[in-house]
Amino acid sequence: MKKTARRRLDLSGRVDLTHGSGGRAMAELIGQLFAAAFDNPYLAQGNDQAIVPPIGGRLAIATDSHVISPLFFPGSDIGSLAVHGTVNDLAMGGARPLYLSAGFILEEGLLLTDLQRIVESMAAAAREAGVAIVTGDTKVVERGKGDGVFISTTGVGVVPDGVNLSGANARAGDAILVSGTLGEHGMAVMSQRMSLGFASDIRSDSASLHTLADALLTACPSLRLMRDPTRGGLATTLNEIAAQSGVGMLLDETALPVSAPVRAACELLGLDPLYVANEGKLVAICAPGDAEAALAALRAHPLGHNAAIVGQVVEDAQHFVRVATAFGGERLLDWLSGEMLPRIC
Amino acid sequence: MKKTARRRLDLSGRVDLTHGSGGRAMAELIGQLFAAAFDNPYLAQGNDQAIVPPIGGRLAIATDSHVISPLFFPGSDIGSLAVHGTVNDLAMGGARPLYLSAGFILEEGLLLTDLQRIVESMAAAAREAGVAIVTGDTKVVERGKGDGVFISTTGVGVVPDGVNLSGANARAGDAILVSGTLGEHGMAVMSQRMSLGFASDIRSDSASLHTLADALLTACPSLRLMRDPTRGGLATTLNEIAAQSGVGMLLDETALPVSAPVRAACELLGLDPLYVANEGKLVAICAPGDAEAALAALRAHPLGHNAAIVGQVVEDAQHFVRVATAFGGERLLDWLSGEMLPRIC
């Protein structure tokens, strides 16, 4: 065997099994693609763990595995989504996001230029959110045993003293707010997947919500909880909270913000926008007396200018989520029973 | 839509896309399979993030994605491996492992009984290691877009004051130790994959090494670094350290512990046991004066009774890892160039 100098990674190629071997090809991929894009002193330690300074306060830990198909879609891609998704899971707990880890499962045959585009999108999203990607792992599976790339991200953040948000905190009488129009992420992915030209003006809302969450926390002392309505949409998220808090919810259909293109695309496909995934919106619940202040704080933020008060928490031993319709009727928003939009995140 | 009482999860079935929908089937899977097995107060918070008490000290963060095939193999399975792998990445940094997150990517069609077996194995490994699985995520991909189950685990641990281990710390003259016989994990998986009956007595060494690491840290004040030689085996790990520390290494072939069954299986398959993966062994490097104390500490531990001093760190501008053979010659242990054993972890 002859020891050779480290080669330049040839980006015109494709991922093959040697990129997951632990050997030279993997070292090249990690050093020249991942480490170059994510560059920070913790990752540069170059060990199998990153060691970061003490954190003064409670820690929030969140994880998300991303399997979205297609990998690229209007407004985002799997890379930035993998950052936003986990940053948001931290932020919804009132935490300030600090560090991310990233685990990549690559399918043999993935274009290295596609991987590079995804990694650079992740790096940009992490920089924008002020989080460092401090450690990672890369595995490669044979062609037909994966689907391009799956990315699992885990985040660590710090929870300020006095912040105690939980899905179990909603009480009858509380106000329910959403930070903007619903269903954009899901419909953007669907439109890309089904080549729906008419829906080409719908872009994913994928974004990091930690500064919006922080503004809301500051403005609203009675904030009970925040949650990002991803898979299963607003309806599923509210059902989760209703069950966790032991309450019911009553929404006002006319108050629910849905853009005209999303409404049109949903009608055509027979989908309910309240069940469609969002990746840059939050649901908040607070005491009724703070609702206007909370709304103002959301609307003052670039990611919240379409925020609305959409309903209230009610007493209900059955934990139903109901919608008062524009025509004076009422419908039940049940848990999603089947699978409407697989692999949406 | 009719709201129904929560059903019992039917374990005689298979994973389908509804288990990743965010809806009722996913809630049943998470509540009745994952949460029941991993039961702890942080997971029971039931939010999209776990909030844990302040940690007094530097944090270690490590992540590993596990794609091993087959899912079950002699001595372990993907579930316990996913715990051991990440616990060990923390422990090799001198950290005490505290918390794990787990991201599951399930392939449609996976038997729910297989998933249950894997989850219970993870839970048992976590209990044994004294770590809590505090948060997680589950995604489902269509048949043919995954391979049964992939598991990404991320660990958070605390690094005691004064502990500063790194692959960059090795110095010429230092002693190199391994904690036991080499190549068991890789050969156990290979024997299962290739139905090699003769190798049926080889079992994976997969184990959590944090108590072994702790014993070594206590006994050996000059400990420079520990690392677990997984993918690519001892040879690849030593090449990484040599490059990181800017040194060479010289091993004594007669001192390298390899069991007779592993040696025989490797010979038959034309494999070098020094490149075969381990999941329950560590490499340690320390000042020569501490080598005997380090060896005694390793041998006193149940996971280290076959430990050995296997060579020394030398000056070498080319960072070569060499082996002095039993016949008085010398061979170079280069970086792994191709892929010998895909999907070994």
Asked if B105 lies within 8 A of A145 by C-beta distance, the reply is: no
Asked if A320 lies within 8 A of B3 by C-beta distance, the reply is: yes
Mean pLDDT of B277-289: 98
- Pairing state of beta strands A321-324 and A248-252? parallel
A295-A298-A299 Cα angle (round to 5): 85
What is the per-residue pLDDT for A197?
67
Cβ-count burial B190-226 (b if 16+ within 10 Å, e if not): bbbbeeeeebeebbbbbbbbbebbbbbbebbebbbbb
Answer yes or no: are the C-beta atoms of B80 and A120 closer than 8 Å.
no
What is the per-residue pLDDT for A201?
83
**Which residues of chain B lie closer than 8 angstroms to A159, CB-CB?**
51
Mean pLDDT of B6-25: 86
- How distant, in Å, are the alpha carbons of A35, A297, B92, B163, B209 from that of A46? 9, 42, 13, 17, 20
Beta bridge partners of B138: B104
Of chain B, the percentage scoring pLDDT greater than 90 comes to 86
Mutate which of A152, A193, A334, A336 to disrupt the B interface (most B C-beta within 10 Å)? A152
Of B344, B236, B334, B212, residue with least CA distance to B284: B212
Asked if A152 lies within 8 A of B147 by C-beta distance, the reply is: no
- pLDDT at residue B2 above 50? no
Q: Across the interface, which of A62, A244, A342 has its CB nearest the CB of B20?
A: A342
Q: Tokens for A92?
A: 């919804």
Could you give the CA distance from residue A274 to residue A132 in angstroms, rounded to a whole number?
33
Asked if A156 lies within 8 A of B59 by C-beta distance, the reply is: yes
**pLDDT tens, residue order, chain A (345 aa):** 333 345 778 888 999 999 998 888 898 999 999 999 999 999 999 999 999 999 999 999 999 999 999 999 999 999 999 999 999 999 999 999 999 999 999 999 999 999 999 999 999 999 999 999 999 999 999 999 999 999 999 999 999 999 999 999 999 999 999 999 999 999 999 988 887 766 668 999 999 999 999 999 999 999 999 999 999 999 999 999 999 999 999 999 999 999 999 999 999 889 999 999 999 999 999 999 999 999 999 999 999 999 999 999 999 999 999 999 989 999 999 988 776 788 999
Asked if B335 lies within 8 A of A23 by C-beta distance, the reply is: yes
Domains of chain A (ranges plus CATH)? 17-159 (3.30.1330.10), 175-332 (3.90.650.10)
What is the per-residue pLDDT for A290?
98
Report the Cα B226 to chain-centroid distance in Å: 13
Q: Across the interface, which of A144, A334, A343 has its CB nearest the CB of B141?
A: A343
**Which residues of chain B lie closer than 8 angstroms to A56, CB-CB?**
54
- How distant, in Å, are the alpha carbons of A22, A43, A65 from that of A37? 20, 11, 20
Asked if A17 lies within 8 A of B342 by C-beta distance, the reply is: yes
Asked if A101 lies within 8 A of B62 by C-beta distance, the reply is: yes
Neighbours of A39 (CB within 10 A): 13
Could you give the CA distance from residue B122 to residue B103 in angstroms, rounded to a whole number?
12
- pLDDT at residue B228 above 60? yes
Q: What is the pLDDT of residues B103-155, one digit of tens each?
A: 999 999 999 999 999 999 999 999 999 999 999 999 999 999 999 999 999 99
Could you give the CA distance from residue B315 to residue B292 in angstroms, rounded to a whole number?
22
Answer yes or no: are the C-beta atoms of A65 and B104 closer than 8 Å.
yes
Mutate which of B68, B106, B137 to disrupt the A interface (most A C-beta within 10 Å)? B137
Answer yes or no: are the C-beta atoms of A210 and A91 closer than 8 Å.
yes
Answer yes or no: are the C-beta atoms of A288 and A174 closer than 8 Å.
yes
Could you give the CA distance from residue A165 to residue A338 in angstroms, rounded to a whole number?
30
Q: Across the interface, which of A49, A55, A147 has its CB nearest the CB of B62?
A: A49
Mutate which of B47, B140, B279, B323 to disrupt the A interface (most A C-beta within 10 Å)? B47
Asked if B49 lies within 8 A of A61 by C-beta distance, the reply is: yes
- pLDDT at residue B305 above 80? yes
Answer yes or no: are the C-beta atoms of A78 and A106 closer than 8 Å.
no
- pLDDT at residue B158 above 60? yes
Q: What would the DSSP string read from start to end of B17-29?
A: GGGGSSSHHHHHH
Q: Which residues contact B302 (CB under 8 A, 6 or more apart)?
A: none
Q: What is the pLDDT of residues B40-55, one digit of tens each?
A: 999 999 999 999 999 9
Could you give the CA distance from residue A334 to residue A238 in angstroms, rounded to a whole number?
10
Beta strands in chain A (DSSP E): 50-52, 58-66, 72-73, 76-77, 96-107, 132-141, 149-159, 175-178, 225-227, 248-252, 283-286, 308-314, 321-324, 330-332
Q: Sheet containing B225-227: which strands, arranged edge to edge?
A: B225-227, B283-286, B175-178, B308-314, B248-252, B321-324, B330-332
